[in-house]
């Protein structure tokens, strides 16, 4: 007897943003920058910045509750939580266990994944592999960050680019044509000095601040994303014309446009939220996905591509039938 193959299907999406929404003009009152520079170079208009009572786990919990509600599922149904973050509440334990306890689904598997801006892609890939292997039934995959806590607010080349937030999806194993069709991940550790945090428990004993050589990262991002998108579409035996929506990592509108152009993807099929959220690292893809699902752009049956690239360098892409 042959056993029909399981696919990891997205059953619901959710997101959460800190209360405080900061415009470029508000930022320009404190940092040596202008709305014009930020808009032209990045497409960013607003970002949300966490208040002291808002943390990576509190945003992750809110996003998870919204995703569970959208999936019409209870926390008790969840047996796997993977939280992608570079800004956990504590060095340990994993913030995923804080989310698990708050949701009240203790007893399953819960851990964090550290792949910075590609974190959601890495977490998604692990969760969908575990579902296909039968070692999890229903997973919460979350990207949540409070990057405002690791920004150097004196460094205008980085502090204007990032924001805080969280996004989550509920994944379930199903037999059929829906679900993750192909996923590809990569890492190349030789570029640490282009994008990193200058502290850590084992080196300085401090949290550290984000440092980035933006122009070099930009160049690598377009090259790596174009290449992994070609790779993942080929693996799924699809072409750019088959894609209904691209949900890219929201670092810079110019990176997103350049990548879409290189692939021959219709720019009207690209979900863009960088103007509203700025770069929320691991949260950016699930946040953008939730926006496009809730406003009705992404519908059941659509073929979407999610992609991200960030510190490490790490990068990846996945093709999913919704
Ligand atoms: O999510 C992880 C991946 N991260 C990324 O993908 C980010 C990738 N990089 C980028 O998005 C872009 O490289 C940036 C937005 C960071 C920078 O844009 P750019 O067009 O590469 O500008 P640049 O770094 O070459 O800087 C151009 C000028 C410089 O002045 P000079 O040297 O030409 O006189 C900077 O000092 O812009 C200046 N500048 C600013 N001016 C006003 C840099 N930051 C600012 C600022 N406001 N905030």
Is residue 159 flagged as an active site residue?
A: no
Under the banding of pLDDT at 50, 70 and 90, the label for residue 3 is: low
Check whether 1 has a pLDDT greater than 60: no
- In this prediction, residue 4 carries a pLDDT of 78
pLDDT more than 90, % of the chain: 98
Q: In which residue are the tokens 């509108």 written? A: 253
Averaged pLDDT, 177-186: 96
User: Pick the catalytic residue: 117, 159, 224, 277?
Assistant: 117
Return d(Cα 26, Cα 13) in angstroms, integer: 31
Report which of residues 3 and 101 the model is more confident about.
101
Mean pLDDT score across all residues of the chain: 97
For 204-238, the pLDDT digits (tens) are: 999 999 999 999 999 999 999 999 999 999 999 99
Establish whether domains 6-175 and 179-321 are of one fold. yes
Among 7, 48, 249, 277, the one annotated catalytic:
249
Angstrom CA distances, 183 to 72, 84, 203, 236, stand at: 26, 17, 34, 9
pLDDT band at 309 (very low <50, low <70, confident <90, very high): very high
CATH code 3.40.50.2300 for 179-321? no
Please indicate whether residue 218, judged by its CB atom, sits closer than 6 Å to ligand 1. yes
- In this structure, CATH architecture of domain 6-175: 3-Layer(aba) Sandwich (3.40)
**Maximum C-alpha span of the chain:** 68
Task: List the one residue out of 262, 257, 259, 261 whose CA is nearest residue 274.
Answer: 257
- Examine the residue annotation and report whether 279 is marked as an active-site residue of this protein: yes
How buried is residue 119: exposed, middle or buried, by Cβ count under 10 Å (0-12/13-18/19+)? buried
Q: Domain limits of the chain? A: 6-175, 179-321
Cβ of residue 211 lying under 6 Å from some atom of ligand 1: no
Q: Above 70 in pLDDT, residue 200?
A: yes
- Render pLDDT for 88-135 as a digit per residue (tens, 0 to 9): 999 999 999 999 999 999 899 999 999 999 999 999 999 999 999 999
* Whether the predicted pLDDT of 2 surpasses 80: no
What is 42-99 written as a DSSP string? H---EEEE--TT--HHHHHHHHHHHHHHHHT--GGG--EEEEE-SS-SSSSS-HHHHH
Residue 100 CA to residue 142 CA, distance in Å, equals 12
Entry pTM: 0.97
The response to whether residue 157 sits with its C-beta less than 6 Å from ligand 1 reads yes
The span from the CA of 149 to the CA of 131, in Å, is: 34
């Amino acid at each position: 007897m042959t056993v029909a193959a399981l696919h990891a299907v997205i059953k619901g999406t959710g997101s959460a943003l800190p209360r405080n929404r900061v415009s470029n003009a508000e930022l320009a009152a404190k940092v040596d920058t202008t709305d014009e520079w930020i808009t032209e170079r990045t497409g960013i208009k607003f970002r949300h910045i966490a208040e002291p009572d808002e943390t990576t786990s509190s945003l992750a919990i809110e996003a998870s509750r919204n995703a569970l509600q959208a999936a019409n599922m209870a926390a008790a149904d969840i047996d796997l939580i993977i939280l992608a973050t570079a800004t956990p509440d504590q060095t340990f334990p994993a913030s995923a266990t804080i989310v698990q306890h708050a949701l009240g689904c203790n007893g399953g598997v819960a851990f964090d994944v550290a792949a910075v801006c590609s974190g959601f892609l890495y977490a998604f890939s692990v969760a969908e592999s575990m579902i296909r292997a039968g070692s999890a039934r229903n997973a919460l995959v979350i990207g949540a960050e409070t990057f405002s806590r690791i920004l150097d607010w004196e460094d205008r080349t980085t502090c204007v680019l990032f924001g805080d937030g969280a996004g989550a999806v509920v994944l379930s194993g199903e037999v059929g044509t829906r679900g993750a069709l192909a996923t590809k991940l990569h890492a190349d550790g030789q570029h640490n000095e282009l994008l990193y945090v200058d502290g850590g428990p084992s080196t300085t004993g401090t949290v550290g601040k984000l440092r980035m050589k933006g122009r070099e990262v930009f160049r690598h991002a377009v090259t790596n994303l174009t290449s992994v998108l070609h790779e993942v579409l080929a693996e799924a035996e699809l072409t750019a014309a088959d894609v209904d929506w691209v949900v890219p990592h929201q670092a810079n509108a110019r990176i997103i446009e350049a990548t879409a152009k290189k692939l021959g993807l219709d720019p009207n099929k690209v979900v863009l939220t960088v103007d509203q959220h700025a770069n929320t690292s691991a949260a950016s893809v699930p946040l953008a996905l939730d926006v496009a699902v809730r406003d009705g752009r992404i519908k059941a049956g659509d073929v979407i591509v999610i992609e991200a690239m960030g510190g490490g360098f790490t990068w990846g892409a996945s093709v999913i039938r919704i």
